[in-house]
Amino acid sequence: MKINNILIRPVVTEKATNLIGNKVYTFETNLRADKHKIKEALEKLYKVKVKKVRIMIRVGKKRKVGKRMVVKKLANKKIALIELSEGKIELFPQA
């Protein structure tokens, strides 16, 4: 698996932005990626030292879609909480 395919996007929610003060960053990752691959990808892409990686899987919800209200299941998501020991990730670069 390529490094660019491991981290999908940062999670930008109120809870995730509050955790940035504690050097904990939240990313949505590939479902097949494990903790070691996530740590390696983050260290290479952002040039930071990772202290700890925690993973949770959000199960996809069921939604009614369309004219006939057919039930569809949304995809599962893997969320990684990454605690840094050194460095900082600039999620929103200054203009």
CATH number at residue 60: 3.30.70.330
Domain holding 14, by residue range, is 3-86
pLDDT of residue 62: 96
- Asked if residue 92 belongs to a domain, the reply is no
> At 67, which amino acid appears?
K
Distances in whole angstroms, Cα of residue 62 to Cα of each of 23, 41, 65, 78: 34, 32, 10, 17
pLDDT of residue 95: 61
**69-79 tens-digit pLDDT:** 999 999 999 99
Rounded to 5 degrees, φ, ψ at 63 are: -130, 150
The model carries a pTM of 0.85
**9-57 tens-digit pLDDT:** 999 999 999 999 999 999 999 999 999 999 999 999 999 999 999 999 9
- Asked if residue 51 belongs to a domain, the reply is yes
Distance CA 79, CA 77 (A): 6
Report the DSSP pairing between strands 24-29 and 62-65.
unpaired
